[in-house]
Amino acid sequence: MGDDELTTEQLKAIQADRASSEDAEAQEAEMESDERVHRRRADKAAYLRDKLAEQAESDLEG
């Protein structure tokens, strides 16, 4: 792995931060359409975080 590549754990942490941030933005959104956008982004980040966790677990097993 090169110096410029992030580890699975680092990527998972980034996605967790994004999910949290987008969730907060959704809660503060004044317009329903903005809330939906932020909820979708939060859901996507949470999905990616979970997939990265699965990958990390698979790497440990394999």
Domain boundaries, the chain: 8-61
What does the alpha-carbon distance between residue 3 and residue 43 come to, in Å, rounded to a whole number? 30
> So what's the pLDDT on residue 23?
97
pTM assigned to the model:
0.83
> So what's the pLDDT on residue 34?
97
**CB atoms inside a 10 Å sphere around CB 37:** 15
> So what's the pLDDT on residue 25?
97
- DSSP structure string for the chain: --TTPPPHHHHHHHHHHHHHHHHHHHHH-SSHHHHHHHHHHHHHHHHHHHHHHHHHHHHHH-
CA dihedral of 5, 2, 58, 52, whole degrees rounded to 10: 0
Q: Which has more pLDDT, 17 or 56?
A: 17
Q: Give residue 1's pLDDT band: very low, low, confident or very high (50, 70, 90).
A: low
Q: Which amino acid is at 49?
A: R
pLDDT by residue (tens digit) across 21-58? 999 999 999 999 999 999 999 999 999 999 999 998 98
